[in-house]
Amino acid sequence: MNIVILGGGFGGLAAANELRQNLTQDTRIIIVDKKDWFMMDLVKLWIIAGSREFETSKKPLENVTKKGIEFINENVTKIDLQNKIVRTSYRRLHYDYLIISLGVELAPEQIPGLKENSLILYDLNDVPRIRDAIRNLKSGKLAMAITGLPYKCPPAPYEAALLIRSVLEEIGTSNSIQMDFYSPTPITLPAGGPQVSEDILQILKSKHIEFHGNCKTISVEQNKLKFESGEADFDLLIAVPPHKVPFVTVDCGLAQLGKFIEVNRTCRTKFDNVYAIGDVNQIMVTDKIAVPKAGIFAEGEGITVARNIISKIKKEAETATFDGKGGCYLEIGKKTAGYIRVDMYADPTPVTELKPPSTDSFAEKEKFEKERLEKWL
């Protein structure tokens, strides 16, 4: 029996570990990833803040083999759902169960001029450049822009802005640098609702970061952002680009171009024994609200799918459903963070609330990373 997991990120690692702990060794659990390392995306913000380095933060995915999970470090090139085969750069893999946890790809090319005229916040290559650029900027206008929806970890761009402000305060340039934050949404965090959005707005204001809502970026020129309505000047632009699903998921018919793989709380696709978890999927909670793209939810979905596969193999009822509970930290600098608690399936509507920033929540954020790395790798 082969369980093949495409993607050794947040969702894939959570699923693989849950499966391995509950199935005998005659079931092969195979992770395929084009990268040979894992690092939580949240560390990118710590690299920008200067408290971490990529080289000492990444963990080898090969470590999963110590627990009896196989790892193939290759690119997935085709998913053949009819014949239950995944093709990678060098092999064909037959699967009995397939978990697709390939995440999203960044697509700055969708906005003309974005790549050429900004630094991309979520791109690992640009992260050290951002770290250096904010330190080299002595005065002027620093703009941050969300240029596509949905994007990973809705609070993360605000966290980045607050951490950058904190760095500027530390190095003494804060008073000479104007910070503006542009978003296509009318409020800061629609996924968090009006109250959490207002709380975040007030935190931004207290750090002299001006939020501009309803700014849908259509193109970027040298030192100029162009919106559907209006434009803005900048000296340095740090942007969250549009996201797209990996092409293999479109090519096999699971995702439509420009969309994500639509599943319900079981993460089952329309193909038998094929599941889509994490950022690659879209789970609608109401007709307007979807489960946010976050590691904590990719993890919850991975565990849900793993539990149902375990039940199916053991010929028991498949009863697991993704509970939509979790939360994200909102770091604001000086080892302090808020915590946004989320319950997507609370009755009658999703509940979110922001716990005010504290050093305790920052310590919990550090623990969040440490515990998972110890468990998974």
Ligand X SMILES: Cc1cc2nc3c(=O)[nH]c(=O)nc-3n(C[C@H](O)[C@H](O)[C@H](O)COP(=O)(O)OP(=O)(O)OC[C@H]3O[C@@H](n4cnc5c(N)ncnc54)[C@H](O)[C@@H]3O)c2cc1C
Which spans of this chain sit near ligand X (rule: CB under 6 A)? 7-12, 32-35, 41-42, 44-45, 75-76, 101-103, 122, 152-153, 156, 246, 248, 278-280, 293-296, 298, 328-329
Which one, 193 or 326, has the nearer CB to ligand X?
326
CB of 35 to ligand X, least distance (A): 4
Instruction: Tell me which residue has its CB nearest to ligand X.
Output: 9
CB of 291 to ligand X, least distance (A): 10
CB of 280 to ligand X, least distance (A): 6
Listed residue (276, 350, 367, 203) closest to 5, CA to CA: 276
Work out whether strand 119-120 and strand 105-106 pair parallel, antiparallel, or are unpaired. unpaired
CB of 344 to ligand X, least distance (A): 13
What's at 302, amino acid-wise? G
In angstroms, rounded to a whole number, what is the distance separating the alpha carbons of residues 113 and 108? Answer: 9
CB of 114 to ligand X, least distance (A): 16
CB of 230 to ligand X, least distance (A): 27
Which one, 22 or 75, has the nearer CB to ligand X?
75
CB of 52 to ligand X, least distance (A): 12
Which one, 13 or 204, has the nearer CB to ligand X?
13
Which one, 75 or 178, has the nearer CB to ligand X?
75
Which one, 115 or 226, has the nearer CB to ligand X?
115
Residues whose CB is less than 8 angstroms from the CB of residue 237 and which lie 6 or more positions away in sequence, other chains included: 117, 118, 119, 143, 144, 145, 220, 225
Residues whose CB is less than 8 angstroms from the CB of residue 117 and which lie 6 or more positions away in sequence, other chains included: 220, 221, 222, 223, 237
Token pair, residue 251, equals 């090519």
CB of 45 to ligand X, least distance (A): 5
User: Residue 8 burial by CB count (10 A; 0-12/13-18/19+): exposed, middle or buried?
Assistant: buried
Residues in the chain: 377
Which one, 201 or 248, has the nearer CB to ligand X?
248
Which one, 53 or 316, has the nearer CB to ligand X?
53
Residues whose CB is less than 8 angstroms from the CB of residue 225 and which lie 6 or more positions away in sequence, other chains included: 143, 145, 182, 215, 217, 231, 232, 233, 234, 237
Which one, 236 or 291, has the nearer CB to ligand X?
291
The residue behind tokens 């084009």 is 34
Token pair, residue 194, equals 């009006």
Listed residue (224, 230, 142) closest to 179, CA to CA: 142
